[in-house]
Amino acid sequence: MAIDGIILAAVKEEMQQLLGCRITKIYQPGKRDIVVHCRRPGSGWAVVLSADPQNPRVFLAEDVPVNPPSPPSFCMLLRKYLEGGKILKVEQPDLERILEVTVENTGCGGEPAHYRLIAETMGRHSNIILLDAAGQVLDAVVRIDSLVNRHREIVPGAIYIPPPDQVKLSLLALDWPSFLDRMAPASPKALLSTLIRDSFTGIGPRTAEELVQRAGFDLDAVRQDVGQDGLKGLYLALEQLADRIKERRFAPRVLLDARGEPCGVSAFQPASPSAAAWEFTSISRALETYYASKLARQETANLRRNLIQVVEKHQGRLAKKLKAQAAELAAAEDADTYRIYGELLTASLYQLKRGMQSVTVENFYDPDLKRVTIPLDHRLTPSENAQAYFRRYTKAKKTLAEGAYHYQRSLDEQEYLEQVRTSLELAADAADLSEIQRELIEEGYIRPTRSLKEKRPKDSKSTRPQPFRFRSSDGLEILVGRNNRQNEYVTFRAGSPNDIWLHVKDMAGSHVIIKTQGTELPPATLEEAALLAAYYSKGRTGRNVAVDYTFRKHVRKPRGAKPGMVIYDHQRTLFVSPLAEVIKPLLARQTEAASGGGR
């Protein structure tokens, strides 16, 4: 969780500039998200408040979400009571994760009235609540009735009760005796960072770890590791933190993980000078940057998961279909047996009589002239039994021909879906996934909803495939498709007949083109392109991955084949291992997207 009480204290201080502003517009872009626009002559701000259980947050926003066409009922209620009102106070009760905005507006009878908009940023218990001057709930973005919590109802008409007191010591009123009273009786095995988090207001897990490090302890230190001097060091770290909050000496940071991805927000400089972080002058900018990255990653993960579920659903359907088709083909394999039975019966009509249920005759098609027993329908004449077998032969022969065709079509579809599944796993961002989603819609695997139609780009340039482009150590250009649409573009539009085409052997993966420019292909470039083909495939974690390569002119798309499905010949095979230490320098030579768009 990025927001703890200390970060919210920094937000509260930053929001003091809203005092005296008028609320000009309110809208609700998400189920639990509210945007409040505030203005005073010459300046304006937008406040984002969210009760999202995974991403509760409050900050002043620069990149404001889009206003939806139809406002929900809670948004309408906020407009009724708050629009046109003046912000009087922005408060935070003792470093709790609660922010209260007091607004003065005109009441129903024309008299001045005060309202409180409360944002509780408390994980899955987060909420946004509007109160009247008497503390009565007018409504909330999440209503909580007595069936959910009989001690704290948040429904229209109920008296607002703050979240239960967690019996923590106030960091802003901390003294040595109260600190010792809390720390001394703690369990010797209690993790120090957990003990701090659970004992003092406003401190979240990340801040607690910071304090432990500032006091000179390891993150896995426990209470029994801390003597009297250690306690004094810890108290001093808490005291210094409290002084910074009181003096409003915030230094916002977005913390970065080992991959350089935003992983948290801090109101102060990290304890370790080597800790990777982005510096900001505004806590709101830090929060907005962090949540933009986190929400984008979540959106990408959700879209990837949903699309994989779609593909898996069709793969399951196809597996059943293939099993049934294989059974039909196996049954149709007896076509020649029916023909032989018909001919043997025709040759033996003189031995047969109506009413017989079987006959044993010499099989003159067998080299050893073995005798064979032929089942008969006792209701038919001998001639009709022979004709019945000839009809079964004709039907089975037809089934065999048509069944083989449809079975192959199903195998091709199975290969296509496996390719799509691999593309989904290798997709780098939401743009890649959206491109695959459009392909699945075009191929009929996803029914286009109204929202998907609205999201579809109308500009042809924005929908143009944008494969990766690399520069080999010899200076040649290497194009790598990341999904079927890009594979088609790379192979049949970007690739020239004498360019080199590569693909992993017998598994799903990217189409790769080396732009040879009419020159002899250097061995180093060929190996680098093969490494890229292996890395952007289902075999990316393997060793000695087989990669086929041939001239682009030897690659063809079968009539009626799905996107990205090709056949090729005149190939040779190269074996490569896309290990991290080998592929990383190669990936660093990626340039802009092949179709001209940047990434």
**128, 49 contact by CB (below 8 A):** yes
Strand-by-strand arrangement of the 512-515 sheet? 468-471, 477-480, 512-515, 500-504, 545-551, 572-576
Distance of CA 42 to the CA centre of its chain: 41
Q: What is the pLDDT at residue 166?
A: 81
| Helix axes 192-199 and 205-214, enclosed angle (nearest 10) | 120
Strands 371-375 and 57-61: unpaired
Q: What is the pLDDT of residues 147-160, one digit of tens each?
A: 888 889 999 999 99
Question: Per-residue pLDDT for 598 more than 60?
Answer: no
Domains of the chain (ranges plus CATH)? 5-140 (2.30.310.10), 328-414 (no CATH), 468-587 (no CATH)
Q: Tell me what the mean pLDDT of segment 28-43 comes to.
A: 94
Question: Per-residue pLDDT for 165 more than 80?
Answer: yes
Phi-psi region of 384 (alpha: psi -120 to 50; beta: other; left: phi over 0): alpha
Q: What is the pLDDT of residues 468-509, one digit of tens each?
A: 999 999 999 999 998 999 999 999 999 999 999 999 999 999
Distances in Å between the Cα of 258 and the Cα atoms of 142, 215, 253 are 37, 24, 16
Q: What is the pLDDT of residues 186-233, one digit of tens each?
A: 888 999 999 999 999 999 998 999 899 999 898 899 998 888 888 999
Average pLDDT value over all residues in the chain: 90
Q: Tally helices (H) and strands (E) across the chain.
A: 14, 22
Q: In whole angstroms, what is the distance from residue 32 CA to residue 53 CA?
A: 9
Distances in Å between the Cα of 17 and the Cα atoms of 21, 81, 248 are 8, 22, 14
Question: Per-residue pLDDT for 592 more than 70?
Answer: no
Where do we find the tokens 């290990």?
579
Question: Per-residue pLDDT for 106 more than 80?
Answer: yes
Q: What is the pLDDT at residue 110?
A: 79
Question: Is the overall model pTM greater than 0.75, yes or no?
Answer: yes
Question: Per-residue pLDDT for 133 more than 50?
Answer: yes
Q: What is the pLDDT at residue 31?
A: 93
Q: What is the pLDDT at residue 455?
A: 58
pLDDT confidence band for 454 (50 / 70 / 90): low
pLDDT confidence band for 596 (50 / 70 / 90): very low
Q: What is the pLDDT of residues 306-320, one digit of tens each?
A: 999 999 999 999 999
Where do we find the tokens 């939806």?
68
**550, 570 contact by CB (below 8 A):** yes
Who wins on pLDDT, 1 or 424?
424
**514, 502 contact by CB (below 8 A):** yes
